[in-house]
Amino acid sequence: MLRTPGRAKCLASASAPPSGGFTLVEPLIKVGINGTLASVALPTHQERMKRSASAGGEVRYSLCVQATTATFTLTMTRTGAQANDRCGNISLN
């Protein structure tokens, strides 16, 4: 059996490994994983947003500004649900 140089070259290049880059399967797997994570995370996020919105509207700090001709002091005092919180009041001079 005679082998032609062109045919041998064609067979050798057909069995060579790919030169790099992504195949179509790899991005599809990533899209599938991201879709699965989003389908789990989105309802949880929406539920938390509903809960935080229902707690909204409550005043948590009262702000007091004391000013002189040269300085001013801002004081935030905890109120409502945060009145007994372990975080302290905030004061800026």
Question: Where do the structural domains in the chain lie, given as residue ranges?
Answer: 59-93
Model-level pTM? 0.37
Gap between the Cα atoms of 69 and 71, Å rounded: 6
Region label for 57, one of left (φ > 0), alpha (ψ between -120 and 50) or beta (otherwise): left
Residues 25-80: tens digit of each pLDDT: 998 999 999 989 888 898 888 888 777 665 665 667 787 888 888 887 888 887 77
59 or 83, higher pLDDT: 83
pLDDT at residue 76, as a whole number: 81
pLDDT at residue 32, as a whole number: 92
Residues 55 and 44: beta-carbon distance below 8 Å: no
Cα angle 24-28-32, degrees, rounded to a multiple of 5: 170
